[in-house]
């Protein structure tokens, strides 16, 4: 299994079922540049996973500007390459 480098931004937990506000936040998140996906780590929060460090930095700044609390750090992680797809990648293949 090959892995690729990715970068994370932490946010709070989501409740199940999602609230109306959480659905709006998820819609914003899934449209951020370089967004791969998310990894819940209940009760500590949720990691948003991005293609590049710059994508993660831009996302953190955008979320902060919308009043969505984010963690202090952007961390490097490795994910399986089959999960390393963004919405931009999907459009290129169409």
Query: Are the beta carbons of 39 and 89 closer than 8 angstroms?
Result: no
pLDDT, position 92: 56
The runs of H, that is alpha helices, within 6-86 are 20-30, 53-65
Q: What pLDDT does 90 receive?
A: 61
Q: Token pair of 31, please? A: 């449209």
How many other β-carbons are positioned within 10 Å of the β-carbon of residue 70?
Answer: 19
User: Domains of the chain: which residue ranges?
Assistant: 3-93
> Which CATH architecture describes the domain 3-93?
2-Layer Sandwich (3.30)
Rounded Cα–Cα distance for residues 17 and 1 (Å): 34
State the 10-residue block means of pLDDT for the chain, 94 residues long.
Answer: 94 86 92 94 93 97 94 96 79 54
Give residue 91's pLDDT. Answer: 53
HSE-CB of 9 using CA atoms within 13 angstroms = 26
């Amino acid at each position: 299994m090959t892995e690729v480098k990715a970068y994370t931004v932490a946010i709070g937990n989501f409740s199940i079922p999602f609230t109306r506000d959480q659905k709006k936040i998820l819609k914003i998140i899934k449209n951020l540049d370089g967004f791969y996906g998310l990894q819940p780590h209940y009760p500590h929060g949720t990691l948003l996973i991005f293609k590049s460090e710059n994508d993660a930095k831009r996302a953190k700044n955008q979320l902060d500007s919308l009043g969505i609390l984010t963690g202090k750090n952007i961390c490097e992680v490795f994910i399986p390459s089959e999960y390393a797809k963004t919405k931009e990648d999907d459009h290129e293949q169409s």
